[in-house]
Amino acid sequence: MKLSEIAAALDARCEGDGTIEIHRAVHPAEAEGDGDLALAMDKDLVGLLAGTRARAAVVAEGAEVPEGLAGVIRVKRPRYAMAGLLDVFERPVHAEAGIHPSAFVAPDAELGEGVSVGAFVYVGPRAAVGAGTILMPHVTVGAGARIGRDGLLHPGVRIGERVELGERCIIQPNAAVGNDGFSFVTPEPGSVETAKATGKVGATNVLIRRVNSIGTVIVGDDVEIGAGACIDRGTVTATRIGSGTKIDNLVQIGHNVQVGTNCMLCGQVGIAGSVVVGDRVVMAGKVGIADHVTIGSDVVIAAYSGVGTDIPAKSVYMGIPAMPRSQAFSQYKSLARLKRLFADVADLKARLTPGTGA
């Protein structure tokens, strides 16, 4: 691919020789020859271009590049350009053509044109898989489940019965969508209910009865679900994940949760049952959300935060318990002053106490 063609794909400016043939994109220090494109969009990497063996490089707008490069692509937003570059140089997964002999596909399951079914895959009765979707080895698609077009389900993915995935969804290894919800009840108010009501444990859980999950999970288009993530089905209706939402590794989404569009849920986020999350919400790593909480659209929640109350739209929250960012910073500053405050109080006490010699 010519350098000028790569620049066009990125909607970026090409300087110098745009006819250079590029075969791969590399770190500047790992370039081996003329066909390598050195990625130096980070300012800390620009200095490495002086010794690179590549003839061409990608840099940020305004960066000063050393002499010796035959061609340069200049990009406005480096991280966004990186996404485009990785699309250009994508290395697609290896997918078997057709259905592997070791796979089981139910006679009444529907497979669209060009579906790839890898080794030891199970596709249950009445399931439907859209055209161009890839089911890699050891994927399970439960009875009545529906997978949209051009999806990619990595090894070990479990799609439960009646679950619906939209188009172009990517599910990473060992994620499970459509598990039963963690829902149990005691014949009489139990320890948790009495603790919430009175602050004390006023009962014991002699019998814990299971509440079955007869609902499902409905996932929109262009959703990505990380490795080991778990999404529970609804108790009666559906747990829903909006289109464009990205879910990181080891995220837990409980039963009846409603997640909006274009959200980002980072690693080890835990969302309890019946939570409503608006559109474009960002939850950093290890955020925990209590049950029945509502999070407004365009909210950002900092890492390790524990959310127990509703959060209004366009807010930045942090801390345990989570609170507005300004309030949290004020508390942190006050905590930092406690040592000095205690010393001042001790000194004042000594001055006012008779017989201390003050």
Other C-beta atoms lying within 10 Å of the C-beta of residue 200? 9
94, 100, 138, 255: the catalytic one is 255
Q: Which of 313, 310, 333, 336 has its CA nearest to residue 323?
A: 310
Dihedral sign for Cα atoms in the order 87, 91, 96, 97: positive
55 SS3 class: coil
**How many Cα atoms sit within 13 Å of 206 on the Cβ side?**
5
255 is catalytic: yes
Q: Which of 129, 215, 120, 232 has its CA nearest to residue 176?
A: 232
User: Do the Cβ atoms of 30 and 52 come closer than 8 Å?
Assistant: no
DSSP code, position 20:
-
Amino acid at site 204: T
Alpha-carbon 84 to chain mean position: 19
CA atoms of 126 and 107, how far apart (whole Å): 8
CA atoms of 169 and 172, how far apart (whole Å): 10
Pairing relation of β-strands 224-225 and 246-247? parallel
User: What number of helices (H) and strands (E) belong to the chain?
Assistant: 6, 37
CA atoms of 283 and 18, how far apart (whole Å): 42
Question: What are the structure tokens assigned to 40, written together?
Answer: 């130096």
Task: Please give the C-alpha separations between residue 302 and each of 88, 264, 284, 318, 325, in angstroms, as whole numbers.
Answer: 33, 12, 5, 5, 9
CA atoms of 150 and 324, how far apart (whole Å): 41
> Which residues are paired to 164 by β-bridges?
146, 218
Provide the annotated active-site residues.
Answer: 255
